[in-house]
Amino acid sequence: MKRPHSKVLHTLAVAAIAMGAGTACTRENDFSDIPFLRFESYEQQTQTVGGVTLDNLLVRIYFTDGNGDIGLEQSDSVPPYDVNLLVRTFEPDGDTVVEVFDYDFDTRIPNLTPEGQNKALEGVIEFDMDVSLRGSDSLQFSFVLLDRALNRSNEVFSPLIVLD
């Protein structure tokens, strides 16, 4: 059974990406048309709502895309255009980590294609993940971004995150 998750893309993340895209329009770049990702950071956030403790991870992933075809429209809802940020989850098993399929953190990044002649994008995706119903005190994640041409970015991994 897949575990539920909260809304995963904050308004702040979209604004941060748009600002990054705006600065990309003022200079030449050599970004590939295939999306590129780099894991930046994470922050654990705990809050209590109605006596229930919720554990969230705010994950930051840097990205670039040379032709700016990142993001989906509201009308894009049929696979393979239903999600474009793919997330795999891993838990420790002895001296290694193994993929677990109890989570569904895949999500949609909205259309970010900038106006103007230079469509290149550069920014940071902030991704909020509800990990309250986890089966382990430690998790690791991998991320892949698909553009509208279905080019797959490189796969990036978080460190093994030990949750409080």
In a domain, 2, yes or no: no
In a domain, 87, yes or no: yes
Given a cut of 80, whether residue 132 has pLDDT beyond it is yes
Given pLDDT bands bounded at 50, 70 and 90, which one contains residue 34? very high
Q: What is the pTM of this model?
A: 0.83
Given a cut of 80, whether residue 28 has pLDDT beyond it is no
* Span 137-155, average pLDDT: 97
In a domain, 3, yes or no: no
What CA dihedral angle connects 77, 125, 89 and 157, to 10 degrees? 130
In a domain, 5, yes or no: no
**Tell me, what's the pLDDT at 19?**
39
Segments forming the whole domain that contains residue 25 = 11-162
Domain count, the chain: 1
Average pLDDT score over the chain: 84
Given a cut of 60, whether residue 15 has pLDDT beyond it is no
